[in-house]
Amino acid sequence: MKEIYLDNNATSKIHPDVAEAILECQREYYGNPSSIHDFGLKAQAAVNQAKEKIADFLGCSPKEIIFTSGGTESNNLAIKGLALANREKGNHIITSQIEHHSVLTTCKYLESQGIEVTYMSVDHYGLIDCKELEEAINNKTILISIMHANNEVGTIQSIDEISNIARDKGVFFHTDAVQSFTKIPINVNESKIDLLSLSAHKGNGPKGIGLLCVREGIKLTPLFHGGEQEEGRRAGTENVPNIVGLGRLVELLKQDTDRRNQLLTRLRDRLFQGIKDKGINVKLNGHPTRRLPNTLNISFDDIEGRTLIISLNLEGIAASQGSACTIGTLKASHVLTAMGKTPEEIQGSIRFSLGYENTEEEIDYVVNMMPKVIEYAREYGSICYLKGEFKYEAEESCCSQPLFKA
């Protein structure tokens, strides 16, 4: 059976050279970077070397990088850390309605602690309005947190314009760049970004490692208290192998970004065009051009997206709905909702997110399977996976309200 992975925005396959670098580090540099013997010094040197490579790649200084366990922790550290350290300056944060849950839930928590949060709306493409952003700033505003590229639809915000507004008004600017990392270029210094979150596993790196880039001089209250690692900003023994892996990853990317970008765009557009050429009625969700090169979020008529994903899976094709969901708590996508999509469009949406290993043959296979899987999905209507079994929605309610029944 085929195995075609088109869910790279959920997570991605580790690059073999990165896996190799991690394994070698596990074997050779097992000392604790805080130890002062040679084993420790070697590990410390490996961490520093990786930091330099990454800083060079991102356009920041090595001192500005704090390694974390991933995007979720980086977003928590940026937003909570800044809000707690700047309480006397102000208590207002601006973000958007289409952020990742690690930003939205953090903001919701801060609201319970007396911080005010403005959630910017977006247009039909998923873009915020910079005029509205400017108007939302008041003299209590301490932080603007707007993602670089959206994980569900791929829309890319004008972060240069946002950072200029933030600088002008003396407000810090944080961007969640987890999805844009490895897919489109980003430069912290040139784009005047104060805080930037990223995670390795969305871009062919290992899981469990990410970083927060924090402009020099910005104070953050740490999430973890303990040792003096990362200059007291993030306690806990460094994840040396994964840090080395992330360093190796950016080294590889430097040589390869344009080629990957072009390849992904070509395959993504081939997929979309191919589906349309089969006479299937689909609508694109997200911006037609200001979009990640690998992301294709589309809505089908009269289809339940999850059923379509299950049908695709039966043919060896991995896609997803906007974001990974937990059975029983599935809700309509907050991103598509904020973009003003109808319930039918939301229910009928799926996301293909491509990776650099995908081929034209794979895309053509998916295109050729589409009529069959769509027919299957329409026939079976609203089924879902419950307690290890596929069930009809009507039998036992495990998900949100079905729009279409078998």
- E-strand stretches of 187-242: 195-199, 210-214
- Scanning 40-48, 66-74, 212-220, 223-231 for contacts with ligand PLP by CB under 6 A, the matching segment is 66-74
Minimal distance, residue 199 CB to ligand PLP, in Å: 3
Minimal distance, residue 148 CB to ligand PLP, in Å: 8
Q: Identify residues 319-358 at the interface with ligand PLP (CB under 6 A).
A: none
Angle, alpha carbons 226-90-186 (nearest 5°): 70
Crossing angle for the helix pair 360-380 and 240-277, nearest 10 degrees?
70
Which residue's structure tokens are 């491509």? Answer: 354
Minimal distance, residue 24 CB to ligand PLP, in Å: 23
Residue in 183, 105, 189, 108 with CA at minimum distance from that of residue 148: 183
Is the CB of 72 or the CB of 229 nearer to ligand PLP?
72
Residue in 282, 314, 79, 26 with CA at minimum distance from that of residue 196: 79
Q: Identify residues 209-248 at the interface with ligand PLP (CB under 6 A).
A: 210
Size of the site for ligand PLP (CB under 6 A): 15
- Scanning 38-46, 124-132, 194-202, 292-300 for contacts with ligand PLP by CB under 6 A, the matching segment is 194-202
Q: What are the b/e assignments for 237-276, b being 16+ CB within 10 Å?
A: ebbbbbbbbbbbbbbbbeeeeeebbebbeebbebbbebbe
Binding residue for ligand PLP, selected from 51, 53, 92, 100, defined by CB under 6 A: 100
Quick check: is 325 catalytic? yes
Kindly report the number of other CB atoms within 10 A of residue 224's CB atom.
15
Distance between terminal CA atoms of the chain? 27
The alpha carbons of the chain give a radius of gyration, in whole angstroms, of 22
Is the CB of 71 or the CB of 81 nearer to ligand PLP?
71
Binding residue for ligand PLP, selected from 96, 141, 157, 199, defined by CB under 6 A: 199
- Scanning 14-22, 69-77, 161-169, 351-359 for contacts with ligand PLP by CB under 6 A, the matching segment is 69-77
Minimal distance, residue 100 CB to ligand PLP, in Å: 3
Minimal distance, residue 70 CB to ligand PLP, in Å: 3
Q: What are phi and psi of 211, to 5 degrees?
A: -155, 160
Q: Which is the catalytic residue, given 60, 130, 213, 325?
A: 325
Q: Identify residues 123-182 at the interface with ligand PLP (CB under 6 A).
A: 147, 151, 176, 178-179
- Scanning 196-204, 215-223, 239-247, 287-295 for contacts with ligand PLP by CB under 6 A, the matching segment is 196-204
Is the CB of 61 or the CB of 105 nearer to ligand PLP?
105
Dihedral sign for Cα atoms in the order 62, 166, 110, 127: negative
Is the CB of 137 or the CB of 335 nearer to ligand PLP?
335
DSSP string, 127-142: PPPHHHHHHH--TTEE
Binding residue for ligand PLP, selected from 70, 241, 247, 355, defined by CB under 6 A: 70
Is the CB of 156 or the CB of 370 nearer to ligand PLP?
156
- Contact partners, residue 111, CB within 8 Å, separation at least 6: 117
Minimal distance, residue 209 CB to ligand PLP, in Å: 8
- Contact partners, residue 36, CB within 8 Å, separation at least 6: none
Minimal distance, residue 219 CB to ligand PLP, in Å: 23
Strand order in the sheet with 92-96: 65-68, 210-214, 195-199, 172-176, 141-145, 92-96, 116-120
- E-strand stretches of 23-158: 65-68, 92-96, 116-120, 141-145
Is the CB of 67 or the CB of 380 nearer to ligand PLP?
67
Q: How far apart are CA 321 and CA 305, in angstroms?
A: 7
Binding residue for ligand PLP, selected from 71, 81, 154, 205, defined by CB under 6 A: 71
Q: How far apart are CA 17 and CA 354, in angstroms?
A: 20
96 interacts with ligand PLP by CB under 6 A: no
**Site residues, ligand PLP (CB under 6 A):** 70-72, 75, 100, 102, 147, 151, 176, 178-179, 199, 201-202, 210
Q: Which positions are annotated as active-site residues?
A: 325
